[in-house]
Amino acid sequence: MHLGIDVGGTNTDAVLMDRGEAVASVKRPTTSDVTSGIVDAIAALGEAHPFDLGAVAAVAIGTTHFTNAVVQAKGLAPTAAIRLGLPASAGVPPLTKWPARLRSAVGDHVFLCHGGHEFDGREISALDRGELRQVAGTIAARGITSAAISSIFSPVNQDCELAAAEILQAEVPGLRISLSHEIGRVGLLERENATVINASLLPVAESTTRAFSEALARVGIDAPLYLSQNDGTLMDVDYVRRYPVATFAAGPTNSMRGAALLSGLADCIVVDVGGTTADVGAVVHGFPRPATTAVDIAGVRTNFRMPDVVSVGIGGGSIVRWDGAAMRSGRKAPGTNCTRAHGFSAARRSPRRTSRSRAGCRRSATRHWSRTCRRSRCGRRST
């Protein structure tokens, strides 16, 4: 048996698969610490369809942890953006046109160094090892924990990036490093942006995968853990800790692969209506069609592998308003706050037990949990 869990911004879904068939599924609200929501979903799955935890052969989790960290600019590591290419490319330095909030989150640690290659593999300039040792000294002095190394045309020749990484690791033990030739395609600025984002997420990847493993241990599951990536396949924990950006847009790809499996269609259009957005994508030969152009992530242009998905800002939990002329809906949705704001228990999805007034009114600590009080003797309206 396999266990699949999708952690969304509003709900956490769990599905039990046995010999390729979905035998049970549950939906529980996503909790603020996420791991509690996973534990709740697994427990509910066991209630809906009792199964032997020891018989679970693998657990696959889809999560928006890493996307949310970038969009919210929270929890990102200070990152050194090192470009190898002088005397070329100095006119447009790394982090150019990044949103101020995101640039501040990763720190304005930009370094331009010699190195790089032309499109045909010819050397632009020799790698300056002394220059890189000076950069390493600055990184250590500033307490920077991650570094992103990008060399001009590194997808053609990655020697400069590999040599620079070796020098930095020797000079700054424990420094986490991402190399652009492992992240993106040809296109220096977009590939560099993706590499900086990946490097800034490395500590988040370690803490998140550790939390997922602990959540599974809490419920007694001892099985390999995988996370879904944005090409519709799975990756193990070690891979996630090296390339967290591979999880971006994994939610829609999960839905597309699942729709193809359940419908038996290898080529189709899938509409995934979530709690906050509706995502539309194409399945080609059973897998999500990849985007062929630069992809915007939180206002930053990148060119790493992403599915071709169109997101519309309306979902099952979106707030829809009438402005007097037309219906309006935005991306803002109550999400995990919905159950708290309206007095529902996140675990049981039922009204919380609250004290009653003399009139017999069921009230939460701040407001009624429905538009009008459910008890006829009160008639009090919510505020």
Q: What is the DSSP string of 265-290?
A: -SSEEEEEE-SS-EEEEEEETTEEPB
Q: Is residue 321 part of a domain?
A: no
Q: Is 138 in the same domain as 169?
A: yes
In terms of domains, do 43 and 60 share one? yes
In a domain, 278, yes or no: no
Q: Is residue 90 part of a domain?
A: yes
Sign of CA dihedral 120, 126, 129, 135: negative
Q: What is the pLDDT of residues 171-196, one digit of tens each?
A: 999 999 999 999 998 999 999 999 99
Cβ(124)–Cβ(153) below 8 Å: no
User: Greater confidence, 119 or 376?
Assistant: 119
Both 125 and 33 in one domain: the answer is no
Please indicate, yes or no, whether residues 178 and 253 belong to a single structural domain of this protein. Answer: no
Decide if 7 is inside a domain: yes
The pLDDT tens digits of the residues spanning 369-379 come to: 333 344 434 44
Identify whether residues 83 and 195 lie together within a single domain: yes
Distance between first and last Cα of the chain: 48
Report percent pLDDT > 90 for the chain.
52
Q: What is the mean pLDDT of residues 293-303?
A: 87
Other beta carbons less than 10 A from residue 255's beta carbon: 22
Q: Tell me what pLDDT residue 249 has.
A: 82
Residue 164 lies in a domain: yes
In a domain, 194, yes or no: yes
Strand 300-302 to 309-312 pairing: unpaired
The domain boundary residue, chosen from 170, 199, 228: 199
How high is the mean pLDDT of the chain? 84
Residue 295 lies in a domain: no
**65 vs 38, more confident:** 38
| Residue 91 shares a structural domain with residue 192 | yes
Domain with residue 219: its CATH number is 3.30.420.40
How many structural domains comprise the chain?
A: 3
Do residue 42 and residue 124 come from a single domain? no
User: Does residue 235 share a domain with residue 215?
Assistant: yes
pLDDT tens per residue across span 147-158: 999 999 999 999
Residue 134's pLDDT is: 97
